Amino acid sequence: MADRRIVTITLNPAVDRVLEAPGFAVGKHVRGRRVALYPAGKGINVSRVLALLGVRSIATGFVGQGELAMFEEHLEEIGGNQVICQLLIVRARTRDNVTIVDPIDDTETHIRDEGFEVQPEDVARIASKLALLANEDTLMIFGGSLPPGVSPGAFAHMVDRCGERGAQIVVDTSVPALVDLREAGAWMLKLNREELAAMSELPTETEDQVLKASRSLLQRGKGRFGHVLATMGADGAMLIGSNIGFRGRVGVHPGRIVSTVGCGDCMVAGVVAGHMRSGDWKTAMREGLAVATAGAVERKAGFVSLDDVEEFREAAIVEPIGA
């Protein structure tokens, strides 16, 4: 996988606004200040983190006409020319995601907009774009929720079409889009406990249940699913494939955790970067855990410090899972 081209796909991007409001309370007038304003969305976050790790990617998907320049400038600046921005414009405004941080009560409130409505011609345009990018030398990472106008069936068709053209597919999406993927398949599914339960129709409350549910997906998929990357919050993560199995976690003081928003995107970027460079799944798992934990100690979602990555790489514990 070392020489593969990486493409991230974000169909429902966002502009993340982080506000600090001491003493925040619903229904009250509270003075606050803007802490951060930056482009986001799962695929955008993955491209940004890959760039910080020194890995090039193409970022495509949709973006509102008024926000294109903002996304292009941000990815060019933060990525150090590691990200090629090929987003397609839609005639609507990119959604806002607002995070309100209360430093007094140590709480975060997240307000998520639904997103712009995509027209049938937009769906056709992105499907054609992805078909042109997909080939045997490409790894395609589909990240994030679906905007209004993109049905789960249409999404599954995009994924299936790219896979048929030889691309390796990684999918990290929301529950509504997952069910139709049972027939499409993917090289890797990144799932949290809720998503894994919905996809496998099995309980995922304990680690043993997560393992059983992950393996059931590989068996049900009849070869359509190659790997399951199951994230379990503070309990770490599992990486399950037909011939591999690892569980791992990073021990970190809870007081250092600032926000877990975007940690899944960091995990995907770390695993992909680690496997691309080493070809070894244990190394990839360690890198994913390190990058995800580095994301958790940052206020802005989908950002990491390389010093933190190095620290948590040394602290990560990765163990094989028996048959």
Do 154 and 288 have their domain in common?
no
Band of pLDDT at residue 23, cut at 50, 70 and 90: confident
Q: In what order do the strands lie in the sheet with 14-20?
A: 33-40, 14-20, 95-102, 107-112
Catalytic site residue from 122, 160, 265, 308: 265
Residue 198 sits in the same domain as residue 300: yes
Question: pLDDT tens, 59-78?
Answer: 999 999 999 999 999 998 88
Domain annotation covers residue 28: no
Picking from 36, 17, 154, 18, the residue whose alpha carbon sits closest to that of residue 95 is 17
Last residue of one domain, picked from the residues 147, 179, 211: 179
Task: Please check whether residue 27 lies inside any domain of the structure.
Answer: no
Q: Are residues 208 and 226 in the same domain?
A: yes
254 shares a domain with 236: yes
219 Cβ contact list (under 8 Å, min separation 6): none
In a domain, 318, yes or no: yes
Q: CB within 8 A of 81, min separation 6: which ones?
A: none
Catalytic status, residue 265: yes
For residue 256, give its domain range: 185-323
155/192 same-domain check? no
Same domain, 146 and 172: yes
Does residue 167 share a domain with residue 306? Answer: no
- The pLDDT of residue 280 is 96
175/209 same-domain check: no
- Identify the helix (H) or strand (E) that includes residue 80: none
Domain stop point among 162, 179, 196: 179
Note whether 66 and 157 are same-domain residues.
yes
Confidence band, pLDDT 50/70/90 cuts, at residue 79 = low
60 within domain boundaries: yes
Assess if residue 42 is contained within a domain: yes
Structural domain contains residue 29: no
State yes or no: pLDDT of 235 exceeds 80. yes
Q: pLDDT tens digits for 295-310? A: 999 988 889 999 999 9
> What CATH code is carried by the domain that includes residue 143?
3.40.1190.20
Q: Is residue 4 located within the same domain as residue 150?
A: yes
Neighbours of 146 (CB within 10 A): 18
Residue 40 maps to a domain: yes
Read off the amino acid at residue 187.
W
Residues 169 and 191 in one domain: no
Number of domain units in the chain: 2
Q: Which of 179, 210, 242 is a domain's end point?
A: 179
Q: Locate 255 and state its tokens.
A: 């007081």
75 and 138 fall within a common domain: yes
Using N-to-C axis directions, what is the helix angle for 120-133 and 152-164, rounded to 10°? Answer: 20
Enumerate the H helices of the chain as residue ranges.
Answer: 42-52, 68-79, 120-133, 152-164, 175-178, 181-184, 193-200, 207-220, 263-278, 281-296, 306-315
pLDDT at 222 over 60: no
Rounded to two decimals, the pTM is 0.94
